[in-house]
């Protein structure tokens, strides 16, 4: 490509970062970097009703956490700023007035009530409402009289009603739309602010955007944008429309279900790198069997021709698998750092629990960090459990065997003076061997007694060490009582 590639991510600051928006940013970033171009961040805040205080900072923070640093933007500047639309407000009206002069737009003085009345009448006939160009037929004198009288107005695009408008999309191919389906969309609102549809065309041109990457919901709006480019005599950018990110083939990701936003997953304890890696593969494939990529490797592999036309399914189970793999690849030190706040939720930040040892046992078992507290809660408090879990065919345990094991090991544990894992191991294993018992037959009831559950990070020895001597003995005593009260087989 001879022309420098310039892509943009242009979110509205209306809340948290939606996964669909984050993927659009990611693809724009990857495409720009792959082609040695520029990635621009523009904040589109013309919809002041939906503006959320602090949302712009959320956008900055999210992109930076994901490693997507922009070349130009509100906080880093650049040659075509400002990069916040509300700060560009004064430049849009002259362009709209220029379109009015050339007949490509017109003043519309219709009130909201009049439009609602016409809409209702249209719907009563079973027709889709489209503005009827009512104000296009006003004379110049009528228009000037209304303007002088301060009658509120909008400026509408004068879309053609015959013929077709076509364009080429780099994902969906050649697209053609009949002009009689196009509405005369509002360009400038009554408050003087531009609509999204108008501002993004003006800004994309003035910022030199060469490739517009956005959701496929804009496929049918693009002809109206192209008519604006043509009216101004401007070069039309290349379009790359992306399929949506869906929960499944029928349902969108939803805020209610807690699966729509990047922050939802970060708060649950998914790693940012895992989210970015997986999100890149939702609707795009690298052309080979690779699944794990760093951001730089994604840049190298990215090819827009491998973006799928079908919706991308965001499979939380697959993301969780990715996350578990990423967690396993953390250094022990990094895992400990990341898991500590989750341990604190259970043990408190002044706990004497050996976090380092617990982290060693938990790292290979952790899929998502928010699952950690429930996995280790038994160490803080023995859960209520059904004594039936003492009976294990594989370990060949029954009531008699369990009582024998617990009564054997109780004084052995009580006699240990140096409560370290190696000493506990050697002492307990020696006692089991001396009694002629099988390891599993003795250790299974011990693990149940001190954990209250069948599946635990680590075995009986590790759990006893983590609990400490006093708590271990207390739980063994409770286990002896529970087994004694079990009915005879």
- Which of the residues are catalytic? 255
For residues 40 and 82, is the Cβ–Cβ distance under 8 A? Answer: no
Q: How far apart are CA 445 and CA 459, in angstroms?
A: 11
Instruction: Order the strands of the 105-108 sheet from edge to edge.
Output: 105-108, 154-157, 186-188
Alpha helix stretches (DSSP H) within 331-398? 332-347, 355-362, 372-380
> What is the crossing angle of helices 460-467 and 469-484, to 10°?
120
231: its two tokens: 């009216």
Give Cβ neighbours of residue 415 (< 8 Å, ≥ 6 apart). 427
Strands 6-9 and 38-41: parallel
Give Cβ neighbours of residue 42 (< 8 Å, ≥ 6 apart). 8, 9, 10, 73, 74, 83, 84, 85, 203, 207
- Closest alpha carbon to 311 in 19, 10, 8, 68: 19
- Closest alpha carbon to 269 in 329, 332, 340: 340
For residues 408 and 435, is the Cβ–Cβ distance under 8 A? Answer: yes
Handedness of CA 314, 315, 317, 322 (dihedral sign): negative
Instruction: Order the strands of the 164-169 sheet from edge to edge.
Output: 173-178, 164-169, 238-242, 211-215
Beta strands in 143-295 (DSSP E): 154-157, 164-169, 173-178, 186-188, 211-215, 238-242, 245-246
| Residues in the chain, total | 489
Q: How far apart are CA 231 and CA 215, in angstroms?
A: 24
390: its two tokens: 């003492």
Phi and psi angles of residue 7, each rounded to the nearest 5 degrees, phi first:
-110, 165
96: its two tokens: 């709209």
Q: How far apart are CA 262 and CA 217, in angstroms?
A: 21
């Amino acid at each position: 490509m001879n022309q420098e590639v310039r892509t943009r991510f242009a979110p509205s600051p209306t809340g948290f970062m939606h996964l669909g928006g984050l993927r659009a940013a990611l693809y724009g970033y990857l495409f720009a970097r792959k082609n040695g171009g520029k990635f621009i961040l523009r904040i589109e805040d013309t919809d002041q009703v939906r503006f959320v205080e602090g949302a712009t900072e959320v956008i900055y923070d999210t992109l930076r956490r994901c490693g997507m640093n922009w070349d130009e933007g509100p906080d880093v500047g650049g040659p075509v700023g400002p990069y916040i639309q509300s700060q560009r407000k004064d430049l849009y009206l002259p362009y709209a007035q220029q379109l009015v002069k050339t007949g490509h737009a017109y003043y519309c003085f219709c009130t909201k009530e009049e439009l609602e009345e016409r809409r209702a009448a249209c719907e009563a006939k079973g027709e889709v409402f489209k503005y009827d160009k009512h104000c296009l037929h006003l004379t110049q004198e009528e228009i000037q009289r209304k303007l002088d009288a301060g009658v509120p107005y909008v400026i509408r695009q004068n879309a053609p009603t015959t013929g077709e408008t076509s364009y080429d999309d780099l994902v969906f191919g050649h697209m053609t739309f009949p002009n009689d389906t196009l509405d005369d969309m509002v360009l400038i609102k009554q408050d003087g602010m531009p609509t999204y549809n108008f501002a993004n065309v003006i800004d994309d041109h003035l910022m030199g955007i060469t490739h517009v990457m956005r959701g496929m919901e804009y496929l049918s709006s693009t002809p109206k944008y192209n008519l604006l480019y043509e009216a101004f005599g401007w070069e039309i950018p290349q379009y790359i429309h992306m399929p949506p990110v869906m929960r499944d083939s029928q349902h969108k990701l939803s805020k209610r279900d807690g699966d729509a936003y990047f922050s939802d997953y970060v708060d649950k304890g998914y790693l940012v790198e895992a989210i970015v890696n997986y999100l890149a593969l939702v609707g795009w494939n690298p052309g080979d069997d690779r699944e794990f990529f760093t951001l730089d490797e994604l840049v190298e592999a990215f090819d827009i021709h491998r973006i799928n036309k079908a919706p991308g399914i965001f499979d939380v189970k697959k993301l969780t698998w990715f996350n578990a793999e990423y967690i396993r690849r953390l250094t022990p030190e990094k895992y400990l750092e990341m898991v500590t706040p989750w341990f604190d939720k259970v043990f408190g930040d002044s706990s004497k629990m050996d976090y380092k040892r617990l982290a060693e046992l938990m790292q290979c078992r952790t899929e998502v960090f928010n699952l950690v507290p429930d996995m280790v809660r038994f160490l803080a408090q023995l859960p209520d459990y059904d004594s039936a879990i003492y009976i294990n065919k594989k370990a060949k345990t029954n009531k008699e065997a369990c009582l024998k094991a617990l009564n054997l090991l109780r004084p052995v544990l009580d006699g240990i003076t140096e409560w370290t894992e190696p000493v506990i191991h050697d002492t307990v294993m020696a006692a089991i061997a001396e009694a002629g018992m099988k390891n599993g037959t003795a250790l299974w009831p011990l693990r149940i007694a001190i954990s209250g559950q069948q599946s635990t990070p680590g075995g009986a020895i590790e759990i006893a060490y983590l609990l400490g001597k006093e708590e271990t003995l207390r739980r063994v005593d409770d286990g002896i009582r529970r087994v004694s009260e079990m009915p005879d087989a």
